[in-house]
Amino acid sequence: MLAADMATTLHIHPTADLSERVLLPGDPGRALLLAQSLLERPKMFNHHRGLWGYTGAAADGEPLTIQSTGMGGPSAAIVIEELARLGARRLVRVGSCGALLGGFALGDAIVAEEAIASDGTSRALGAGERVAADAALTDALTDAAAGEVSGGGKPGGPGEPGGGAVRRGAVVTTDLFYDPAGEHADPSDPAHPALAIEMETATLFQLSALRGLQAGCVLVVSDLLGPQRGRIDAEAMEAAAIRVGRIAVAALS
Ligand SMILES: O=P(O)(O)O[C@H]1O[C@H](CO)[C@@H](O)[C@H]1O
Ligand SMILES: O=c1cc[nH]c(=O)[nH]1
């Protein structure tokens, strides 16, 4: 565990130790769910600004912090910058996304190996068109996901709640959830199509590259935006969130 230094951070006010490894859901409620599901003896790490965070012992017995980023690049950039100043070194976003292509089911998971930077925050931080995840951490997430799919984890293998397929590829990061353009047109190169759309991953990858942090990302498919349309229900989202949380913990172990 690392000594937390509140004086350096204006938005994260640590009330517990910080682990050098951190899961980053956008949703504070998902941070609580994951803390209750994945941590022994969780303590609140932060509640300032409603950005709930928790630190406890993960399944491997080592400390783990789970800290919500809020929605969108600007909020995520503040949280990630302050976590870096406090001593975080390995970060995995455990988020949700809308699948842009066919062939996905609600509750499937995506390991993001790169993000297409269609957002303002990562671009303001100097991102080019695409920003990459840490390769070793992404391979570890892919291996951990394969273990879950083959039935090593709970809840569920394929077909069970929270136990859908896992794919690896690019995601596109945007600033708008409600886009007046109406469609989430796939802006990517046809040779490397984006699997899904979300709002923080490009910022995480770009800021981590600037600060020398290892960053990865695993996402639950909460929406189908391609040929089929649909939105996951709350129970299935919880099961899928716990599953991707377990994948992330295994990758960080
Ligand atoms: O579920 P989280 O991790 O918040 O991620 C996605 O959900 C939010 C939009 O509903 C955005 O933050 C988007 O990136
Ligand atoms: O940013 C997001 C997150 C989930 N679903 C979407 O369609 N977009």
The pLDDT profile of the chain, 253 residues, written as one tens digit per residue, is: 454 444 589 999 999 999 999 999 999 999 999 999 999 999 999 999 999 999 999 999 999 999 999 999 999 999 999 999 999 999 999 999 999 999 999 999 999 999 999 999 999 999 999 999 999 999 999 999 998 765 544 444 444 444 689 999 999 999 999 988 755 555 555 666 899 999 999 999 999 999 999 999 999 999 999 878 999 999 999 999 999 999 999 999 9
pLDDT of 148 reads 79
Q: ipTM of the assembly? A: 0.98
Nearest CA to ligand 1 atom 6: 96
Least Cα distance to 125 among 174, 74, 85, 171 occurs for 74
Residue 28 structural domain: 6-252
- In the three-class reduction of DSSP (H, G, I as helix; E, B as strand; rest coil), residue 145 is classed as helix
Residue 5: predicted pLDDT: 47
CA 1 to chain CA centroid, nearest Å: 22
- Report yes or no on 222 lying in a domain: yes
In a domain, 1, yes or no: no
The answer to whether position 131 is within a domain reads yes
Residue at 187 is within a domain: yes
- What number does the ligand 1 atom closest to the CA of 219 have? 3
Q: Which residues contact 70 (CB under 8 A, 6 or more apart)?
A: 26, 28, 49, 50, 51, 76, 79
- The token duo for 31 is 């941070």
**Residue 126 maps to a domain:** yes
Q: Is residue 152 part of a domain?
A: yes
pLDDT at 7 (0 to 100): 56
Which CATH number covers residue 25? 3.40.50.1580
By C-alpha distance, which of 94, 101, 104, 91 is closest to 21? 91
> Is ligand 1 within 6 A of the CB of residue 26?
yes
What is the pLDDT at residue 159?
41
217 assigned to some structural domain: yes
Answer whether 75's CB lies under 8 Å from 63's CB.
Answer: no
162: phi > 0 → left, psi -120 to 50 → alpha, else beta; which? Answer: left
Q: In 12-27, which positions are buried (b, 16+ CB within 10 angstroms) versus exposed (e)?
A: bbbbbbbbbbbbbbbb
pLDDT of residue 215: 99
Q: Is residue 80 part of a domain?
A: yes
Number of domains in the chain: 1
For position 226, what pLDDT does the model report?
Answer: 80
C-alpha distances out from residue 55 to 131, 145, 169, 192, 250, Å: 29, 23, 30, 37, 17
Q: Within 6 Å (CB) of ligand 2, which residues are found?
A: 96-98, 177, 197-199, 222-223, 225
